[in-house]
Amino acid sequence: MRLYHNPRCSKSRQALALLLERGLEFEDYRYLEHGIAVEDMELLTSLDGIIRKQEIDKSANINLNQLADVSKLLADNPKALERPILVNNGRAVIGRPPEKILELLE
């Protein structure tokens, strides 16, 4: 289980706390430092709302309906990734609100 986490984001910190409170083992994945894990890219790009639109350069020619464009954007600019995201057993969910991450644990 991997939590895409940005410690500066309050929602991300809340999601982290939810997992810690439950005593779950997971990888606290700092995507701003390490980028998007290659093995998660296809899964993440398939999620609705995965891109933080305010982080996209307005002059960039990106079609958010094209998975290849979304994948390249995330590879080149991990800051554009919405967070927090929990990846578990081939599924992923954006933790907005943070309690949504608990859906993958049911």
DSSP 60-97: S---TT-HHHHHHHHHH-GGGB-S-EEEETTEEEE-SS
Find, among 73, 5, 65, 19, the residue nearest to 41 by Cα: 73
Domains identified in the chain and CATH numbers:
2-105 (3.40.30.10)
Residues marked as catalytic: 9
Model pTM?
0.93
pLDDT of residue 39: 97
- Tell me, what's the pLDDT at 29? 98
What's the pLDDT at 56? 86
Full pLDDT tens readout for the chain, 106 residues: 999 999 999 999 999 999 999 999 999 999 999 999 999 999 999 999 999 989 888 777 888 899 999 999 999 999 999 999 999 999 999 999 999 999 998 7
For residue 56, give every residue at least 6 positions away whose Cβ sits within 8 Å of its Cβ, in sequence order, or none: 62, 73, 77, 80
Instruction: List own/partner pairs for 90-93 with CB under 8 A and 24 or more apart.
Output: 90/43, 91/43, 92/40, 92/43, 92/44, 92/47, 93/47
At 50, which amino acid appears?
I
CA distance 94 to 92: 7
